[in-house]
Structure 1
Amino acid sequence: MELQQHKNENGATPSPKKDLIQKVIGCFGKYQLYLCLVVFLVKFPVAFHQMAIIFLSPKVSYICASTNNETCPCSDPIYDTSVFKRTIIMEWDLICDRKWLTSFTQTLFQLGTLFGSVFFGMASDRFGRKNPLLVAVVIQVTMGITAAYVPDYWSFTFVRFLVGMSVGGTMVTSFVIVMEFVGAQYRDVISALYQVPFNLGHMLLPVFGYFCRDYSVFQLSISVPVIVLLSYVILVPETPRWLIAVNRTEEAITILERVAKINKRPTDAIRTDIEAFQASLEKNKLKKGTVLDLFRTPNLRKNLLAMSFNWLTCSYCFYGVSQYVGQLSGDVFINVAASASVTLLGTLLSIPLMKVIGRRTIVIVFSFVCAFCLLVLAVIPQGTGSVVCASIGVVASFIVFVVVYLYCTELFPTVVRNAAIGVSSMSARVGSMVAPFVISLEDVAVWLPPVCFALLPLIAGCVTFLLPETKGCEFMTTIEEGEQFGKKKTSKTKA
């Protein structure tokens, strides 16, 4: 079911050749629109929980009762509650020699996201896309609410780790569900629009923070709405592609007939076509590759390492600088809202950019833009200018984030594509785990965090010159095709 195209006599590029599922239900109709609107909702709580640390542990002033000064060690701190009434810093005295625990709880959350991505990714291959998604939603609801009531720091951190696992699970499974219903020529647009609810959730977070100045109430406010997603048990179907892959053909046909009717497509030949397609799959089944296959040949190995570094850099910069914006001087609610708003614009901008400009060019240009803005941030005084620079850096890194999803999909052949995306995604989680500790370097020197954040996109932009362009190139199938891709100046073009 790979994307194939062939140029016509005039040299124009027609639409991609449809696979059988697209032929049956259409590339994008009423049902796909409905499914996107429903499933995209899962990205709101992803943003809530991923970025919650900004308002769970905002920068807070304190004085020691014994010295009437902000000194360390301090066994009797008195906190400034003029903005936030209660934070995890105040609750468990995460200051002085315990200050690192603030970064540690976010790092454990991101580690949970990594584990969740891997665990639920494997579960979705074995048990289907829908059931793991529902399990992840249940964990997110129960653990998110539990986090508001746990009595000590370590319990809170462990529960947040479980929330992180659920976030990783919902991201992986929901994206696959949408992509398996949408036609190939719409996947670049949908993969970008899939990020819009995350941006909107990020924009809503300061609203929750503004009205919920107690961390426990704030945690409840971002967790309770997730209960709505339990309706997925009724609203979201299993994907026909997975059902066909595991020989549950009757269930697949039932779903395809229902979707085809909604999209006003003919249903007469669905059973015959799907049964014939099932037989051809069994006859022509490709041998699956493994992660090791990505390292066995030099070109694939180079592409994987370069792509993984780009994912690590995107996550490192986006989550790190987004959190850093909350530490800048000024109104934390306005700063975060402004940063989130421009990120939404960046997501929307990435759609026409991917249509017109090559993936490689976008990654290189916006990596350098991100690095430049963060270097400027290191040398200018804190204020409106610093928020603007940080926001541009965030949006540049997010544009790269949106593009590398598609870039990675196109860069590797079918037999190792999921493995490559899995390794890249794990690299991204490593970046987001390191980022909180980089922010804490502000205690050493104010300019140090922006410089550290700038170095990686600067290197990533240079590393991307090693990658081939994939825009206008057909999907590869075998390891041999993947190894040869990009070695010659003339590559295969999409039709």
Structure 2
Amino acid sequence: MMFMVFGNYHPDWQCLGGFKQHQNSSLDNSTLANQTLDILVLDRWLNESSGLDFNDSYWNRSTPGSCDSIKMCQDIGFNEGSNTIVTEWDLICDLSWVQSIIIFIQMIGVLIGSYYGSLIGDKCGRRVNLYISVAFHTVFSLLAAFSVDWKMFACLRFFIGLTVGGMLSCCLVYPIEFVSKWWRGFLSTFPVWNFGAATFSLVVLLLKNWKHVHIATALFSLLVFLLGFWVPESMRWLALQGKVEKAKNIANMVAAMNHRPPPNTTALEIFAKEERKKLRAKGTQYEHVVDMLKKDKYFSLSLKMGLIWACMSLMYYTISFGMKFLAGNFYINFIIFSVAEIPGIIFVNPISRRLGPRLGSLVYFVLIFLPCVGLVITHFMASEDNKGNIIFYLALLAKMNILAAWKMMTNFSSLMYPSEVSCVSTDYLNTCARIGAIISPFLIPNITGSLYVMFLILAIYLLLCCLFLVSIPLKMKESSGDEEQQKSQLSVIVEETELEVRYSECDQDA
């Protein structure tokens, strides 16, 4: 998912092999042949010989190469040390738009993959969906390393996005079904995403080659796929499909592997019976998102929630993919930005219990908003010597709170929607988040000097989200059925295994 943070990066470039003859130039091109010249020399030559006007800001570019004069180069070369898709196919200047298009295509794949991953999970099982996605991810990641041009690479990134979407549709809730109550809370707050991003950034630091990174990702996916022969199917899904005996066998296997006595599996039978009965009684009143949005009481709430979720996704991926413009070593920055999000996530539950999810979300929104505004002010007010470092720390401060705010908003959203629409509301909000990710590459500037525009847009959007959040009524959650019936739940604690199966009309993995 985060590959294009590295794929979009490129080191400084220079003009190689001399310059093409200019009609107004008295400089003999042959004297420049077979020489490696700094592009700033070419800039001065063009300025004197062709009468082009270059202002002071032109000379302060972050890279030696100038897009205004790249056409005069016979060839260009990037500084040694990094091999990305930008350096592979010279995706700079007139072709810089390709970087955003590749991210856009990948995120479209993630959106489609999330939808069909959920369908496959419902029809064929969580295990089948997860490991089919991992298997194809292995294949497409390996093929991407042998792309012959950026068009082929973009196509393969679309299919990689499909597989990532399929994995995301179940990988976070799938493990929770096999553990007891305490471990569910631990797994739901464990920074899995950040651990993966930090590990990936270390791989990028070691390899610094886009082909090798893809091959390494494919090999790691292959190892994960091999676990599919050991990890069992979801007991909850088997029970809902009427395959109670298979679910019992899995429960006994889990107990045996943990050296526990066989559990009392009566809970599975009761759960399956009650769940199917409730589903038949409830019917398909809110089977699709459109059914939910037709109701006035859900339309306003869903519109505001959807915009907030899109904002969270937009901010996260925009800052991530725009990391290449920040001061300092790109690879070290990548690691720092991946690890820095963990402290914010750790404090989500304590802040939520202390302030409530809405006020807690506002606190995190403010912690993101202030650095974004400060970065815009820094661009105009700070001196050139200190500007780069200040912008780096402000961007880091904003990024480290985005996932925490997103987690807090997830808790708040679950409280605002009643059980009768919790399934379709989850699908709707996840779709809004994917749309935010799809838009994100188009906010990323082409040059460092325009970075403040990106943060200005994010700050304005975040301010609107704060207004949306404050305007949502706290008493929104209600159900069309009997209140006591909606609050009822099945809870059976199974002897020493501490396996607790809770009934609810629709839970996260649906």
What interval of TM-score do these two structures reach, taking the shorter chain for normalisation?
A: 0.7 to 0.9
In 2, the alpha carbon distance for the partners of 1:379 and 1:425 equals 33
Distance 1:146 1:203 in 2: 24
Question: Which residue matches 1:134?
Answer: 131
Residue among 280, 283, 288 paired with 1:287: 283
Deviation at 1:184, TM superposition (A): 6.2
- Mean Cα displacement is larger for which, 327-336 or 182-191? 182-191
Residues 69-468 of structure 1 mapped to structure 2, 5 A cutoff: 69=43, 70-72=66-68, 74-75=70-71, 76-84=74-82, 86-182=83-179, 187=184, 189-193=186-190, 196-261=191-256, 267=262, 269-270=264-265, 272-285=266-279, 286-288=282-284, 289-290=286-287, 291-381=289-379, 382-440=387-445, 442=447, 445-468=450-473
The alpha carbon displacement at 1:163 in A equals 0.8
* CA distance in 1: counterparts of 2:437 and 2:480, whole angstroms: 32
1:243-264 residue CA offsets vs partner (Å, 9 max, x unmatched):
1111111111211233345567
2:25 alignment counterpart: none
CA offsets 1:3-48 (integer angstroms, 9 cap, x no match): xxxxxxxxxxxxxxxxxxxxxxxxxxxxxxxxxxxxxxxxxxxxxx
CA distance in structure 2 between the aligned counterparts of 1:300 and 1:185, rounded to whole angstroms: 33
Contact between 2:10 and 2:87, CA under 8 Å: does it hold in 1?
no
Amino acid in structure 1 at the alignment position of 2:95? R
CA contact (8 A) 2:311 2:461 kept: yes
Alignment RMSD, CA only?
A: 2.7
Give the whole-Å Cα distance in 2 for the aligned partners of 1:386 and 1:422: 36
Does structure 1 conserve the Cα–Cα contact (< 8 Å) formed by 2:10 and 2:84?
Answer: no
Q: Note closer, same or farther for the CA distance 1:405–1:354 as it changes in structure 2 (3 Å cut).
A: same
1:340 CA drift (Å): 1.6
Deviation at 1:235, TM superposition (A): 2.8
Change (3 A) 1:225 1:214: same
Using the TM superposition, give the Cα deviation of residue 444 of structure 1 relative to its aligned residue in structure 2, in angstroms.
7.5
Cα distance in 1 for residues equivalent to 2:449 and 2:297: 41
C-alpha contact (below 8 Å) 2:326/2:388 kept by paired residues:
yes
What is the alpha-carbon distance in structure 1 between the residues aligned to residue 432 and residue 166 of structure 2?
Answer: 16
Structure 1: how far apart are the matches of 2:214 and 2:278? 50
Partner Cα separation in structure 2 for residue 104 and residue 124 of structure 1: 30
Cα distance change of structure 1 residues 238 and 109 upon mapping to structure 2, 3 Å threshold: same
1:95 Cα deviation after fit: 1.9
Give the residue type in structure 2 aligned to 1:128: G
How far did 1:310 drift?
1.4
> Which is further off, 171-180 or 450-459?
171-180
CA positional deviation for 1:121: 0.9
SS at the partner of 1:126? helix
Contact kept, 8 Å, 1:107 with 1:436, in 2: the verdict is yes
Gap change, CA 1:341 and 1:278, over 3 Å in 2:
closer
- Inter-partner Cα distance in structure 2 for 1:183 and 1:292: 36
Cα displacement (A) at 1:200: 1.9
Question: Partner letter of residue 213 of structure 2?
Answer: F
Q: Which amino acid aligns with 1:278?
A: A
> d(CA) in 1 for partners of 2:221 and 2:137?
7
Higher relative contact order (CA 8 A, sep 6+): 1
The amino acid that maps onto 1:431 is G
How far apart are the structure 1 equivalents of 2:132 and 2:247? Answer: 22
- The CA distance in 1 between the partners of 2:158 and 2:185, in whole Å, is 31
Given that 2:325 and 2:448 are in contact with CA atoms closer than 8 Å, whether structure 1 keeps it comes out as no
Q: Distance in 2 between matches of 1:311 and 1:431?
A: 8
Are the equivalent residues in 2 in contact too, given 1:243–1:252 (CA < 8 A)? Answer: yes
AA aligned to 1:252 is: A
Unaligned runs of 5+ in 1: 1-49, 486-495
Give the letter aligned to residue 427 of structure 1.
Answer: C
1:470-489 pair list within 5 angstroms: 478=480
Partners of 2:446 and 2:350 lie apart in 1 by 38
Q: Give 1:400 shift.
A: 1.1
Percent identity among equivalent residues? 22
One-letter code aligned to 1:316: L
Within 5 Å, which residues of 2 pair with 1:15-54? 50-54=1-5
Q: 1:349 to 1:293 in 2, by over 3 A?
A: same
User: In the comparison of the two structures, how many residue pairs are matched?
Assistant: 427
Alpha-carbon contact 2:444-2:451 (below 8 Å) kept: no
Distance 1:353 1:190, change over 3 A: farther
Aligned to 1:437, the other structure's residue is in SS state helix
Distance 1:216 1:362, change over 3 A: same
| Counterparts in 2 of 1:187 and 1:421: CA distance versus 1, 3 Å | farther
Shift of 1:268: 6.6
The alpha carbon displacement at 1:125 in A equals 0.9
Of stretches 360-369 and 159-168 in structure 1, the one that deviates more from structure 2 is 360-369
Aligned residue identity for 1:432: A
Q: TM-score, normalised by structure 1?
A: 0.79
Once the two structures are superposed, residues 266-287 of structure 1 have per-residue CA deviations (whole angstroms, 9 ceiling, x without a partner) of: 64742x4433443333433332
Displacement, 1:332? 0.8
Post-superposition Cα deviations, 1:321-347, rounded to whole Å, max 9, x if no partner, equal 122222212211222222222111112
Label 1:266 to 1:221 Cα distance change in 2 as closer, same or farther (>3 A). closer
Match in the other structure for 2:26: none
Give me the whole-angstrom Cα distance separating, in 1, the residues matched to 2:348 and 2:75. 47
Q: Which has the larger radius of gyration?
A: 2
> Could you say which residue in structure 1 is the equivalent of 2:34?
none
Q: Distance in 2 between matches of 1:188 and 1:249?
A: 26
Query: C-alpha separation between the residues in 2 aligned to 1:210 and 1:273?
Result: 49
Residue 116 of structure 2 aligns with an amino acid whose one-letter code is F
How far apart are 1:435 and its partner, in Å?
A: 1.4
